[in-house]
Amino acid sequence: MSKTITLDTPIKRGETDITEIAVTRPNAGALRGVALMPLLQMDVNALSVVLPRITTPTLTAQDVMALDPADLLQLSTEVTGFLLPRSAQADSQPT
């Protein structure tokens, strides 16, 4: 399962502008070395470890630290949503 995020402020890589990032639902291995509570609290340091493991194109930790705050919020919202059980995700969907 993945979700594509359109960035408000593209990331510049050489001559290329990255305008979209696909975020893949992490497995336990992608979360190694990171406590879940900081991720749920959208901690930037925790996100800078996990996002490079679950994004396409792959973000670097430096990319994460340089993101526009609105883009960081979009990406972190997806990550925290992936951490919720499916039953909680269904409960939070508008009817």
Question: Measured in whole angstroms, how far is the alpha carbon of residue 27 from the centre of its chain?
Answer: 13
- Which DSSP string do the residues of 6-64 spell out, in sequence order? EEEEEEEETTEEEEEEEEEPP-GGGGTT--HHHHHTT-HHHHHHHHHHHEESPPPHHHH
Helix (H, G, I), strand (E, B) or coil at 3: strand
The reported pTM is 0.86
Per-residue confidence in pLDDT tens, the chain, 95 aa: 899 999 999 999 889 999 999 999 999 999 999 999 999 999 999 999 999 999 999 999 999 999 999 999 999 999 999 998 877 666 555 55
